[in-house]
């Protein structure tokens, strides 16, 4: 399995591993992704998600 995280600076991730040889690591990886915030997952935090609807919630023109 390969794990990847994408953010504004690019993509990063550790080396691949065999889920059958190390099932504990697989469980930790899935739990880690499930517990990440939108920001940690690299999602655009300016987009508000409310069910099937999406809209820009924070927009500010320069100061």
Per residue in 4-57, pLDDT tens? 877 778 888 889 999 999 999 999 999 998 998 888 877 777 777 777 776 666
Say whether pTM exceeds 0.75: no
Report in angstroms the alpha-carbon separations of 37 from 1, 14, 33.
22, 20, 9
Helices (H), 1-63: 23-35
């Amino acid at each position: 399995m390969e794990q990847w995280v994408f953010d504004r600076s690019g993509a990063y991730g550790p080396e691949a591993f065999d889920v059958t040889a190390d099932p504990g690591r697989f469980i930790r990886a899935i739990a880690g992704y499930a517990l990440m915030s939108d920001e940690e997952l690299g999602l655009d935090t300016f987009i508000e998600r409310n069910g099937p609807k999406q809209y820009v919630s924070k927009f500010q023109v320069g100061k």
